[in-house]
């Protein structure tokens, strides 16, 4: 089957055409993403009203471009999948309404997709990955450890109680006068830095629950910067390296506990269990190194989809639609309203009734 995917939940406008192979993985026929980064960078973050208008401006052209690149005509598409939440309501309205209009006029089914579900399932497009598996989503808006039991069947094991991890990188960068988005800037500044110079806090480390907390880290960074003012380039490098080390240690503890819990809940799982990472922060090499080592230690396979599929895109939305189609799960009603808040745990409660 062929699915047209549409993503507009945050600051990327995206359209994609994806198909599913016999072996259960996917083929990306077109993947178009327009980042609004430049429009928001002056404000140091995403401005909802600007984002919504930018989606309106760009979406039609992007969909046409995705179709053209894929060589697929609209009437050959089997279904439309659009992000219906969670995210900024203005953008969600633009994408979901556009998806509905295309589905309605072509007579094709519509899938209203949870953005987080898109992130959770992407790894199955590129890797032959069986359920259950653990997924760590680390982006600008989310930090979650999720048990993926099956399509539409997710259990959130941990989440941040304050800032998302990407947000911590962005705020730290801002404090240090580094450019937005902060993740790549902090990572490159950290190279050549002394990671032992500052002993930053590692919140919740040692606690049994699997949640995260990163706002204290940002405060510690501010204090460190004030303590050494005027801040030199070397100071910045040392702070960034120490910041990444604190995060690495925190994840080692938090995720390590998650892997142990997984093993105790699924002792009989066949084959090697997997930890999948998603979200923009997954680009970070230090984080990848820590997670790779951790997985090795606990006997897990570490799966990181290509960077382009880790950040926001429409491929993952189309893919979530394809996964539902492959199981003959029902499409969504045209009355489906976008949801700015939509926890993954109830991604598709209606689907569970069908017994997967």
The contact set with Fe ion (CB under 5 A) reads 139, 312
β-strands 133-138, 274-278 pairing: parallel
Q: Which of 14, 146, 239, 281 forms a contact with ligand ATP (CB under 6 A)?
A: 281
- Gap between the Cα atoms of 253 and 247, Å rounded: 10
183 scored as a contact of ligand ATP (CB under 6 A): yes
Least spacing, CB of residue 91 vs ligand ATP, in Å: 10
Q: Which of 4, 10, 120, 224 forms a contact with ligand ATP (CB under 6 A)?
A: 10
117 scored as a contact of Mg ion (CB under 5 A): no
140 annotated as belonging to a binding site for a ligand: yes
Q: Which of 26, 182, 203, 248 forms a contact with ligand ATP (CB under 6 A)?
A: 182
Least spacing, CB of residue 311 vs Fe ion, in Å: 7
Q: Which of 3, 113, 210, 283 forms a contact with ligand ATP (CB under 6 A)?
A: 283
Classify residue 212 by its DSSP letter. B
Least spacing, CB of residue 214 vs ligand ATP, in Å: 11
- Binding positions for ligand ATP, 14-73, rule CB under 6 A: none
183 annotated as belonging to a binding site for a ligand: yes
Least spacing, CB of residue 41 vs Mg ion, in Å: 12
Residue 29's closest CA among 41, 16, 12?
Answer: 16
Least spacing, CB of residue 56 vs ligand ATP, in Å: 18
- Binding positions for ligand ATP, 333-352, rule CB under 6 A: none
CB nearer to Mg ion: pick between 7 and 235: 7
CB nearer to Fe ion: pick between 167 and 238: 167
- Gap between the Cα atoms of 53 and 35, Å rounded: 13
Least spacing, CB of residue 36 vs Mg ion, in Å: 8
Neighbours of 141 (CB within 10 A): 20
324 scored as a contact of ligand ATP (CB under 6 A): no
| CB contact at 8 A, 2 and 26 | no
CB nearer to ligand ATP: pick between 117 and 170: 170
Q: Which of 31, 163, 238, 312 forms a contact with ligand ATP (CB under 6 A)?
A: 312
Binding region for ligand ATP (CB under 6 A) out of 64-72, 183-191, 204-212, 290-298: 183-191
312 scored as a contact of Mg ion (CB under 5 A): yes
Least spacing, CB of residue 75 vs ligand ATP, in Å: 32
7 scored as a contact of Mg ion (CB under 5 A): no
Q: Which residues of 7-18 are buried (b: 16+ CB within 10 A; e: fewer)?
A: bbbbbbbbbbbb
23 annotated as belonging to a binding site for a ligand: no
166 annotated as belonging to a binding site for a ligand: no
Q: Which residues are annotated as a binding site for Fe cation?
A: 115, 119, 312
Q: Which residues are annotated as a binding site for substrate?
A: 137-141, 170, 183, 187, 284
Residues binding ligand ATP (CB under 6 A): 10-11, 139-142, 166, 169-170, 181-184, 187, 279-281, 283-284, 311-312
Residues binding Mg ion (CB under 5 A): 10-11, 312
């Amino acid at each position: 089957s062929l699915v047209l995917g549409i993503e507009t939940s945050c600051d990327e406008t995206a359209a994609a055409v994806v198909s599913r192979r016999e072996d259960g993985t996917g083929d990306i026929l077109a993947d178009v993403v327009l980042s609004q980064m430049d429009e928001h960078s002056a404000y140091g973050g995403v401005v909802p009203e600007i984002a919504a208008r930018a989606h309106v401006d760009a979406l039609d052209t992007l969909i046409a471009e995705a179709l053209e690149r894929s060589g697929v005509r609209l009437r050959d598409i089997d279904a439309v999948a659009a992000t219906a939440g969670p995210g900024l309501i203005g953008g969600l309205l633009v994408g979901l309404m556009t998806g509905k209009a295309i589905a309605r006029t072509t007579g094709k089914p519509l899938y209203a997709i949870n953005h987080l579900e898109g992130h959770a399932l992407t790894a199955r497009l590129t890797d032959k990955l069986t359920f259950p598996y653990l997924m760590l989503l680390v982006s600008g808006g989310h930090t979650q450890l999720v048990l993926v039991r099956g399509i539409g069947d997710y259990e959130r094991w941990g989440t941040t109680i304050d800032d998302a991890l990407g947000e911590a990188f962005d705020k730290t960068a801002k404090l240090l006068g580094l450019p937005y988005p902060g993740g790549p800037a902090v990572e490159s500044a950290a190279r050549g830095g002394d990671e032992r110079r500052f002993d930053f806090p590692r919140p919740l480390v040692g606690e049994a629950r699997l949640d995260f907390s990163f706002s204290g880290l940002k405060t510690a960074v501010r204090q460190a910067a004030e303590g050494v003012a005027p801040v030199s380039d070397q100071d910045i490098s040392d702070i960034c390296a120490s910041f990444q080390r604190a995060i690495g240690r925190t994840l080692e503890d938090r995720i390590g506990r998650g892997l142990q819990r997984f093993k105790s809940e699924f002792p009989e799982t066949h084959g090697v269990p997997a930890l999948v990472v998603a979200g923009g922060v997954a680009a970070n090499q230090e984080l990848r190194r820590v997670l790779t080592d951790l997985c090795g230690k606990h006997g897990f396979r570490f799966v990181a989809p290509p960077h382009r599929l880790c950040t926001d895109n429409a491929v993952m939305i189309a893919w979530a639609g394809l996964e539902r189609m492959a199981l003959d799960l029902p499409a969504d009603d045209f009355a489906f309203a976008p949801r700015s808040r939509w926890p993954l745990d109830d991604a598709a409660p209606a689907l569970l009734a069908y017994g997967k």
